[in-house]
Amino acid sequence: MADIRNVPGPRTDDRFTVGVSRDFLDSEGNNVWGDIRLGELDAGPGVDWHYLPRDTDELLAADVDGLDAVLFAGPAVTERTFAGATRPPLLFARFGVGYDAVDLNACTRHGALVTITPDGARRPVATATLALLLAVLHNLPAKDRLVRTGRWAEKEQWMGLGLTGRRVGLIGLGNTARDLVGLLRPFEVDVVAYDPYCPQDVARVLGVRLADADTVVAEADAVIVMCALTEETRHFVDARRLALMKPSAVLLNVARGPIVDEAALIEALRCRRIRGAGLDVLESEPPDPRNPLLSMDQVVLSPHALAWTDEMSAGNGGSAVRAVLDVSQGRVPPFVVNREATEEPGLVRRLGVWAAGSGTVGVHA
């Protein structure tokens, strides 16, 4: 049940107030993501928004108390976000698809919805994953370094692998992975995936064969990690599973660093147990300068920003803004990750207030 101390009384104004986390801004006050569709908030009837005054790694009650919604990227949302708040936000709209820094239980207890932006991230992440896969298979960074360092004659040592006709193994077959499957079709690849939550009929329509995780890593020429980080998936790709991979295979991780046992991966690469790796994410970000991955030619790295494009900015921003506007009209938006919060009396009551003000019938989308 919701904490009754945080169930609000009647509103005394008709403005829906939104705070945007300050980590979106650079030192000169420019949005580092460019156009994230915040202008659509200006067009929302009765909506006021501003950047939060403090740049912080964790949102505290003092940062958000009195706001109706928070659109955020990097800061964590924890129990301390609500501690002592008299009117906590109805919504925390995450700019992105990961929510491992969000305490969902705390949000639910305090009657706050949490949304993510899979519709905005799906195509940019799928495209970035394909780019990373091709870069790893073609040894692109190593070939770039040959030219820059005057080692042109060494190019014969860096023969790549073609993607056409290979087998791609997916750890996770969610929305982004399904979009990647479509992008892979022209390469005539065979796709095998592990996802205990994906219905067989969905995989069948995609032309994907579902299998257990060990089979996926053992059969694939490229293993791509695309699942969420949970206690179940932490170090899911460990030394044992890396040992099952073909020596000619590559591993990509575009999800979260801790899903792969990094020490085991380093050892597998060092002893040439697998061919190479492409990593947009690492266990520790940014990595220690002494991390062996940084000096390995067969590894392609990205600073957890592989999909950062104008397409991603507009997609994630637009999706998060739409979630905010839905709640400002008393509607439950799509892509709520703590659906149980929609049953909390305090949240239902507050949504009802905004629904009544907007003329919306009912509060559920």
Total count of residues recorded for the chain: 365
Give the span between the Cα atoms of 283 and 102, in whole angstroms. Answer: 18
Q: Helix, strand, or coil here: 289? A: coil
Tell me whether the omega of the peptide bond preceding residue 124 falls within 30 degrees of 0, making it cis: no
Give the span between the Cα atoms of 181 and 191, in whole angstroms. Answer: 8
Q: Helix, strand, or coil here: 323? A: helix
Q: Is 304 a catalytic residue?
A: yes
Q: Is 219 a catalytic residue?
A: no
Give the span between the Cα atoms of 99 and 82, in whole angstroms. Answer: 17
Q: Helix, strand, or coil here: 227? A: coil
Q: Helix, strand, or coil here: 113? A: strand
Direct distance between the N- and C-terminal alpha carbons of the chain, in angstroms, rounded to an integer: 22
Give the span between the Cα atoms of 37 and 43, in whole angstroms. Answer: 11
Nearest to 300 by CA among 126, 127, 122, 143: 143
Contact between 172 and 225 under an 8 Å Cβ cutoff? The reply is yes
Strand partners, 48: 17
Q: Is 256 a catalytic residue?
A: yes
166, 178, 256, 350: the active-site residue: 256
Give the span between the Cα atoms of 88 and 110, in whole angstroms. Answer: 8
10 Å Cβ neighbour count for 41?
Answer: 20
- Determine phi and psi for 11, rounding to 5 degrees: -70, 150
87, 151, 304, 349: the active-site residue: 304
Instruction: Retrieve residue 247's tokens.
Output: 């020596």
- 358: which residues sit within 8 A by CB, 6+ positions away? 45, 328, 329, 330
285, 340, 343, 364: the active-site residue: 285
Catalytic residues: 256, 285, 304
